[in-house]
Amino acid sequence: MANILFKALPSNSPSLFPEDIFAKIPENHPVRLVNEVVDKLNIEHIIGQYKGGGTSSFHPRMLVKVLFYAYLSNIYSCRRIEKALQENIYFMWLSGHSTPDYRTINYFRGKRLKGHIQSLFAD
């Protein structure tokens, strides 16, 4: 009977130089296209809805990027988008590690993007 060899289990201990997980995103991945396209969109009409004061807000451009990529990935639920922002490296990269909760995503989609999302998709 032959000796059975297994690959070593990955260690859960921190390393001195952690791996850059964002380097695992291919250059031609759709998330990079969404990022590039949304960066070129004019979203002044959305930014104009913010009054200022109070606590800081998540940048609307980041939220648009996340929503567009979520729709591209067939994710429409705000709770599933929130979960993806915490677990999926593509969403993490796109949001810059920002983690808006489902209420914030829902409010942005329902109030701030109302009447504008069709024109953003068209652009």
62 close to 98: Cβ distance less than 8 angstroms: yes
pLDDT for the residue numbered 54: 78
- State the Cα–Cα distance between residues 53 and 104, nearest whole angstrom: 17
Cα–Cα distance between 123 and 119 in angstroms, integer? 6
pLDDT tier for residue 17 given thresholds of 50, 70 and 90: low
Residue 113, helix vs strand vs coil: coil
Q: Is 106 exposed, middle or buried (0-12, 13-18, 19+ CB in 10 A)?
A: middle
Q: What is the pLDDT of residue 3?
A: 81
Q: How confident is residue 116, by pLDDT bands cut at 50, 70 and 90?
A: confident
pLDDT of residue 84 exceeding 70, the answer is yes
Confidence class for position 24, pLDDT limits 50, 70, 90: confident
The CA distance from 38 to 66, in Å, is: 10
pLDDT score of 39: 92
- pLDDT tens, residue by residue, 31-69: 999 999 999 988 888 888 888 777 888 888 999 999 999
What is the average per-residue pLDDT within 21-28?
Answer: 87
Phi-psi region of 58 (alpha: psi -120 to 50; beta: other; left: phi over 0): beta
Give whole-number Cα distances, 113 to 10, 15, 43, 47, 121, in Å: 43, 42, 10, 10, 11
Break the chain into its structural domains and give their ranges. Answer: 25-42+58-122
